[in-house]
Structure 1
Amino acid sequence: MTKRDIVVIGASAGGVYALRELVAGLPPDLSATIFIVQHIAADAPSYLPRILNFAGNIKATQPVDGEPIQRGHIYVAPPDHHLLIENETVLVKRGPKENRFRPSIDALFRSAAYCYGPRVIGVVLTGLLNDGTSGMWTVKRLGGVSVIQEPEEALYPSMPESVRENVVVDHSVPISEMAALLTRLTQETVNERPILAQKDQLRLQKEVKIAEEENSFDMTILEEGDLSPLTCPECHGVMTSIQEGTLLRYRCHTGHGYTASSLLSGVKRSVEESLWNAIRALEETVMLLEKAAQVLEEGGNVRAAQEYRTQISEAEWKIRQLRPLVFAG
């Protein structure tokens, strides 16, 4: 009889400490495969597989695209790549970012749920914002089990709290009890896979394929929700809004995905970048006008030089107005 043999784990800020303790408690003969997304800078090497190999007794590696899944193994997402699963194969892709992250927890969880349904155990650990909530919603909807680290003990409780607020959580435990819980859950047999409505199944398939680098525009992703007046902070593309239970998400026609809170964070970042660009342009204007005024003064055209200096004063006044707005956030 089929058992729960696919464990997907998502972590962000503070996650290395939690993952190290979790893996240290797992038995070497665990009858499951573990897939981990830990948020990390795109241009930084990941030492997490080495850390987990020192901590526990299950081999941890960063997979290559197309690698066959090995049972009793830990796969860690490489930097700047989504970690996905398809037909007993590990996929490593550079699809569009979700919640401004690549690798994305949501992308891994959706991929696992789409392929393995009730065989999946989803685990969300410490982290900021809410990457993992949408993916966990899909895990539950397709018959999987949801597990979170108790927010009260997490270094950064936002991610497990978000799951608890938007998804029916099966288990909320401290990290010290997580290994024993997962060991027990992997020994349980599973129920039949729930059947989704055709439109929901099609949308899930499209979102999984987007993470796999398929063309979201060709797949008409904008038809899978309600058109939104908002634009994507990454590419400024048109977005559609998608409702998942109590969770509202957005997806642009090029493929970038957001929850409402991650979209707000992205918009704030865009506003700050726009303000800095305005300050830069004004300061460049001051430099150009200053140089032009000096040339005019040296040539004896004092009147024209004074007009330029008046414009310099106006630009400097605008800069003084903008800088406090940037620093105020």
Structure 2
Amino acid sequence: MSEQVRDLVVVGASAGGVEALRDLVSGLPDDFAAAMLVVLHLPPGGASSLPAILDRACHLPAESARHGAKLRPGHIYTAPPDHHLLVDDGRMMLSRGPTENGHRPAIDATLRSAAQARGAGVIGVVLSGSLDDGTSGLSIVKARGGLAVVQDPKEAIYPGMPESALMRVDVDLVLPAAQMGAELARRVREPVEGGDVPPLSLIDEVEARASRAEDLAASSRPEVRDVTRPSEFACPDCQGVLFALDENGTRFRCRVGHAWTAQALFQQQSQEIEQALWAALRALEEKRDLARRMGRDAEEHGFPLVANRYRRHSEETTRAVEVLREFLVEGLTGLEDPGDEVPGEPA
């Protein structure tokens, strides 16, 4: 077996992640012997201040990743807004491939790409965040011989992502973020066995190509519909059929590439239900007000029977408005996943 070194660290974070990232990078020595890719879920518009935040917090230079730029040890590269950050032949690639759990950049896309490119040379790190982003990508890092590191959920501001990773991945290290820098510096100097790394599964390969935004339909290689089975769910992004990526039905991807975990899909459906109910409330209030206006008009013109009919419409609609408003204000929490938190920053 050939030996290689762990020369690439991929860190994923979401809600509460800025604080955890600061703690992590502050512990990195100035002779850190690996390149570090950082993915924080960001809104698509505008520029990210994350490189400047990390640059001030540590001894290493931090910068936004550039398409085609070479990975250099001792440097931190952050995923820019609205682009997946991928790895190919020792270089960074930026892609506007389909979103994953509604995110671009997506943590899983970067972890998956790094594991494919570097195998056992990758250390995957999952920090604070809600839902379960990072779990799928971290499992591929681990399957390819890499090291899996997770922030201690007890200290994470949002423990959802660390807890999900611990539940589904054979994690190597669980640490507070402030202790990770020194431990990572030690681990990247360790030689690892580079041989006998299993190839990506067919489904993982299809997902990797989707993240790279390759035109699967123009190629003879399988598409997601060829290697999976259709589910009963629709994609929130394009309304196409979602295909189940595992036997348990916890991960999905549509034919054009949008990816969802069951937990993220549940949350998205809950948000769409709430939006639809608020729209219904608005329509009911408008109908009530219009019925009142038409009733007054009929009464002023001497049509009492018509006025009474509109009055009944107004009263019935008023009762519906009261019931729906009470449900929206007080009862809608039942639609939310009790394990989720509402993030106060990008989630």
Same fold (TM > 0.5)? yes
Match of 1:3 in 2: 5
Secondary structure at the aligned position of 2:59 is classed as coil
CA distance in 2, matches of 1:193, 1:51: 39
Amino acid at match of 2:23: E
Match of 1:205 in 2: 205
- Contact kept? 2:84, 2:106, Cα under 8 Å: yes
Q: CA deviation at 1:113?
A: 0.9
Over 3 Å counting, the alpha-carbon distance change for 1:97 and 1:138 in structure 2 is same
Amino acid at match of 1:211: S
CA distance in 1, matches of 2:314, 2:216: 47
CA distance in 2, matches of 1:305, 1:91: 68
**Structure 1 runs (4+) greater than 6 angstroms displaced:** none
1:233-274 per-position Cα deviation (integer Å, ceiling 9, x unaligned):
333221111228x78211122322122211211121121122
1:173-202 per-position Cα deviation (integer Å, ceiling 9, x unaligned):
222321121112211223215223xxx533
1:198-238 per-position Cα deviation (integer Å, ceiling 9, x unaligned):
xx533222212222233566653123322211222333221
Match of 2:96 in 1: 94
Overall identity of the aligned pairs, in %? 41
Greater relative contact order, per chain length (Cα 8 Å cut-off, separation 6+) = 2
CA distance in 1, matches of 2:23, 2:198: 36
TM-score by length of 2: 0.86
What pairs up with 1:1-329 in 2 under 5 angstroms? Answer: 1-43=3-45, 45-191=47-193, 192-196=195-199, 201-215=201-215, 220-243=223-246, 248-327=250-329, 328-329=331-332
Amino acid at match of 2:33: S
- Contact kept? 1:53, 1:60, Cα under 8 Å: yes
CA distance in 2, matches of 1:306, 1:74: 72
Q: CA deviation at 1:35?
A: 0.5
- Contact kept? 1:142, 1:193, Cα under 8 Å: no
Matched pairs, number: 325
TM-score by length of 1: 0.90
Structure 1 alignment gaps of length 5 or more = none
Amino acid at match of 1:204: D
Q: CA deviation at 1:281?
A: 2.0
Over 3 Å counting, the alpha-carbon distance change for 1:234 and 1:326 in structure 2 is farther
1:58-114 per-position Cα deviation (integer Å, ceiling 9, x unaligned):
111112333333332111112233222222232223322212322211111111111
What RMSD over aligned residues (CA atoms) do the two structures have, in Å?
Answer: 2.2
Over 3 Å counting, the alpha-carbon distance change for 1:44 and 1:222 in structure 2 is same
Q: CA deviation at 1:136?
A: 0.3
